[in-house]
């Protein structure tokens, strides 16, 4: 099969995947391969010794949350004993934003690709600023994680179960037309999700005061839905990977662990192609500067891999301003991404480009031929453990990842 | 043929260096600028692309 035919088959899967949120569960009960000593993380594989500050902070916080350690020192001692294992979320049908740390007793959303049957998972968004995913692990952070597990999770689980499944692809499609890039801005999609869920939230048998707090959490956290969008994209990604389409040059995964940026490519099996992660360029919260930022981190650029985020920036003028650009910058970035993709999305339509489908299907050949690197919108974490988010901006996927994938294809032809 | 061309209203597309377009623009010609640059790719990448041409076989 030639490259164009192989890539067309990949696009059939990308455009044809219907995705629904079908439930929730505790990671150790539902995530394949999760066990009591496993901490999953964002990006390609990495060991403790090479982890960046925010990922180390998130791992420490997760061990305190799990009751495996009472302090930072105890957590580090446990890690250095070799008891704790680290594996990428992506190897467990899972994705998580920023540090992406998911431990055994954390609740996860369960997403299903209704067309191809595969399941994916993502954790619950805690909110902005001091949060585990940005490397914070203070008492307030751990307490909120416990509230999420003990109070929020049972309520969301019951409401989602009562709904019979929520069509996340339709929510993302509508949100794109309401100003979300669906990576760094999820204000519309979170509102649409809450609207969809509200009639079930009032029907479930749970304490009214706790349901109120859950609604308040969703109301205050504009980024709540990014985890669901990511799991949706992962459900498409895994369907493409499972199809194992030889000869395809389309990127199926982009992800970073704060040290390395990694990609996977459709025609190359389950291999990671990595390069050092770049530092994002953007706006910092008061009191912080580029000296404080950690390198690019998180599974969230799975959204760019499927035509959202930086690839749909033309649809999201508000987020362009938030990351320090102009409306035209957003249009220019989206237009540039058409140069490195093989198709326009059949369902993600950008209103201010006359409802043109967003650029989707990153082709490593096109990236190498044009020298254009995929553009990603992202949050920025402090480089040290325990501090949290310091800003938001844009970042480029390193060219070396695409070169390494190409070399692999040449050497394994 | 060429003399007829310049008697009609021209729709001009200028690709790459903006100077050519702005010169015509200053003479009241309507010019659409296309932002294009020669791809900045290394000799190693060019070789890789050549080696990957086997993927296009059978099309």
- Which candidate from A369, A370, A413 shows the least CB-CB separation from B54? A413
Question: Do B57 and A2 lie within an 8 Å CB cutoff?
Answer: yes
Taking CB atoms and an 8 Å cutoff, what residues of chain A touch B44?
Answer: 403
Question: Do A4 and B44 lie within an 8 Å CB cutoff?
Answer: no
The number of angstroms, rounded, from the C-alpha of A126 to the middle of its chain's C-alpha atoms is 14
Taking CB atoms and an 8 Å cutoff, what residues of chain B touch A365?
Answer: 49, 52, 55
Q: Does A406 lie at the interface with B, CB-CB under 8 angstroms?
A: yes
The DSSP symbol for A289 reads -
Taking CB atoms and an 8 Å cutoff, what residues of chain A touch B55?
Answer: 2-3, 247, 249, 267, 365, 409
CA distance B14 to chain A (A): 18
pLDDT digit string (tens) for chain A, length 413 residues: 899 999 999 999 999 999 999 999 999 999 999 999 999 999 999 999 999 999 999 999 999 999 999 999 999 999 999 999 999 999 999 999 999 999 999 999 999 999 999 999 999 999 887 899 999 999 999 999 999 999 999 999 999 999 999 999 999 999 999 999 999 999 999 999 999 999 999 999 999 999 999 999 999 999 999 999 999 999 999 999 999 999 999 999 999 999 999 999 998 999 999 999 999 988 898 899 889 998 999 999 999 999 999 999 999 998 888 777 889 999 999 999 999 999 999 999 999 999 999 999 999 999 999 999 999 998 888 898 878 888 888 999 999 999 999 999 999 98
pLDDT of residue B37: 77
Q: Would you state the structure tokens that stand for residue A113, as one six-digit string?
A: 């690709």
Higher model confidence: residue B10 or residue A348? Answer: A348
Residues 371..390 of A with a Cβ closer than 8 Å to B: which?
A: 371
Q: How far is CA A130 from CA A32, A51, A155, A292, A389, in A?
A: 29, 19, 24, 15, 7
CA distance B54 to chain A (A): 8
**DSSP state letters, A319-349:** HHHHTT--HHHHHHHHHHHGGGEEEEEEEEE
Question: Do A371 and B41 lie within an 8 Å CB cutoff?
Answer: yes
Taking CB atoms and an 8 Å cutoff, what residues of chain B touch A405?
Answer: none
Question: Do A368 and B48 lie within an 8 Å CB cutoff?
Answer: yes
Rounded-to-integer distance, Cα A90 and Cα A94, Å: 5
Question: Do A369 and B41 lie within an 8 Å CB cutoff?
Answer: yes
Contact call for residues A144 and A270 (beta carbons, < 8 A): no
CA distance B23 to chain A (A): 24
Higher model confidence: residue B2 or residue A196? Answer: A196
pLDDT of residue B39: 76
User: Exposed (0-12), middle (13-18) or buried (19+): which is A170, by Cβ within 10 Å?
Assistant: middle
Residues in Cβ contact with B3 at an 8 Å cutoff, skipping those fewer than 6 apart: none
Rounded-to-integer distance, Cα B48 and Cα A406, Å: 7
CB atoms within 10 A of CB A124: 21
Q: Would you state the structure tokens that stand for residue A382, as one six-digit string?
A: 């402090």
Could you give the count of Cα atoms lying within 13 Å of A19 in the half-sphere of its Cβ?
30
User: Under DSSP, is residue A212 helix (H, G, I), strand (E, B) or coil?
Assistant: helix
CA distance B42 to chain A (A): 9
* ipTM of predicted assembly, 2 dp: 0.82
Q: Does B48 lie at the interface with A, CB-CB under 8 angstroms?
A: yes
pLDDT of residue B58: 58
CA distance B25 to chain A (A): 22
Q: Does A36 lie at the interface with B, CB-CB under 8 angstroms?
A: no
Question: Do B58 and A371 lie within an 8 Å CB cutoff?
Answer: no
Pairing verdict, β B31-34 and B12-15? parallel
């Amino acid at each position: 099969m030639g490259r164009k035919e192989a890539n067309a088959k990949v696009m059939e899967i990308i455009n044809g995947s219907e995705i629904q949120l079908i439930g929730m569960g505790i990671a150790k009960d539902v995530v394949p391969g999760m066990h009591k000593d496993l901490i999953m993380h964002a990006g390609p594989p990495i060991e403790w010794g090479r982890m960046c500050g925010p990922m180390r902070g998130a791992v420490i916080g997760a061990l305190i949350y799990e009751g495996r350690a009472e302090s930072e020192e105890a957590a580090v001692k446990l890690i250095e004993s070799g008891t704790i294992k680290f594996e990428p979320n992506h190897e467990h049908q899972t994705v998580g934003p920023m540090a992406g740390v998911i431990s055994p007793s954390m609740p996860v959303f369960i997403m299903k690709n209704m067309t191809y049957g595969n399941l994916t998972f993502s954790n619950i968004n805690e909110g902005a600023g001091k949060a585990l995913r940005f490397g914070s692990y203070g008492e307030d952070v751990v307490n909120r994680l416990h509230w999420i597990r003990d109070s929020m999770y049972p309520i969301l689980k019951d409401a989602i179960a009562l709904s019979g499944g929520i069509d996340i692809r339709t929510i993302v499609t509508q949100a794109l037309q309401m100003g979300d890039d669906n990576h760094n801005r999820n204000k519309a999609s979170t509102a649409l999700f809450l609207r969809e869920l509200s009639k079930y939230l009032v029907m479930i048998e749970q304490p009214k005061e706790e349901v109120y707090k859950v609604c308040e959490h969703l109301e205050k956290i504009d980024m709540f839905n990014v985890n669901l969008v990511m799991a949706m994209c992962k459900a498409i990604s895994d369907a493409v990977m499972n199809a194992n389409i030889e000869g395809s040059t389309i990127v199926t995964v982009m992800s970073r662990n704060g040290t390395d940026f990694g990609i996977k490519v459709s025609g190359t099996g389950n291999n990671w192609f990595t390069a050092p992660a770049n530092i994002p360029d953007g706006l910092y919260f008061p009191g912080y500067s580029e000296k404080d930022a950690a390198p690019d981190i998180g599974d969230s650029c799975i959204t760019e891999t499927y035509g959202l985020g930086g690839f749909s920036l033309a649809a999201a003028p508000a987020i362009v301003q938030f990351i320090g650009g102009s409306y035209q910058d957003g249009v220019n970035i989206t237009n540039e991404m058409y140069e490195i993709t093989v198709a326009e999305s059949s369902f993600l339509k950008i209103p201010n480009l006359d409802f043109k489908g967003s650029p989707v299907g990153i082709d490593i050949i096109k990236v190498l031929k044009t020298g254009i690197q995929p553009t990603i919108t992202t949050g920025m974490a402090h480089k040290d453990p325990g501090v949290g988010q310091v800003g938001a901006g844009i970042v480029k996927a390193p060219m070396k990842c695409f070169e390494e994938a190409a070399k692999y294809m040449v050497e394994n032809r | 043929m060429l003399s007829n061309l310049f008697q009609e209203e021209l729709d001009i597309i200028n690709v790459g260096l903006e100077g050519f377009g702005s010169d015509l623009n200053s003479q009241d010609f309507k010019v659409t600028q296309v932002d294009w640059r020669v791809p900045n790719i290394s000799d190693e990448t060019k070789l890789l692309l050549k080696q990957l041409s086997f993927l296009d076989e059978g099309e």
